[in-house]
Structure 1
Amino acid sequence: MQKQLISSGFTLIELLTTLAIMSILIGVRLPNYQQTLLSTYRDQAKIKLTTISLLQTDHYSRHQQYVELNHLAIDLSSNKYQYSLQLNESNGYKVAATARDNQRHDSECQELSLDHNLTRLPAACW
């Protein structure tokens, strides 16, 4: 009697073909994923800038002056953006979010700003 070998499993060619297909799919999708991440972090920065603006407006309505960022009840810790505030002599302000680390790859939107007149710059990023 002759024993029959039953093959179970994958051949090397099948595994390499699967690996090649997966590599192509990842190569196509990765740039889209990275752009989505940049956009998501930019949206988070815009929310924080808007929140700062609302807090400034609230403080101004009660005290007739704007205050520094450290006097506002908001958490500005972020590893993607650094937040800053410029108080004007004419009783106005401009709050900005400057991209840090990998977020600097968001080339057109490296610095977002919002002022007391609700002017949002750069306009294409808002």
Structure 2
Amino acid sequence: MNTAKIARDWIDSYNSQDTERYHALYADDVDVASNRFGVRIHGKEANRELMDTYFAALPDGQMTAKSVIASERLVAMELEFNGTVALGYDGLPGLPHPGDRFSVDLCIVLELFDGLICRERDYSD
């Protein structure tokens, strides 16, 4: 399993808003926790619902990898995220007001099992 390639696919599918490709990277029983967005969810469908909301809220959202460290089952990525909050998405956790452009540095850690993301954690200020 090439964990660095899976990480690149994760970033590329997010940036292109290829939701099917993005969601195909996750295991059915994935566990996701985000301190920035104040969420902890379990399961692929819950992750799909959450991420589809954020894809819509951040239609120009782009991640740029500053560094990627990959081992056999883990990938840690230092990312810069830039995006503009779409109108109509006021009050989503972790996001500024609609129409505002923002940038944030993130650390994302993905754990993989059988070639799929089974655990995701993000850390930011």
Q: TM-score surpassing 0.5?
A: no
Q: Which has the higher contact order (CA 8 A, sep 6+)?
A: 2
Q: Which has the larger radius of gyration?
A: 1
**Structure with the larger helix share:** 1
Give the TM-score, by structure 2 length.
Answer: 0.29
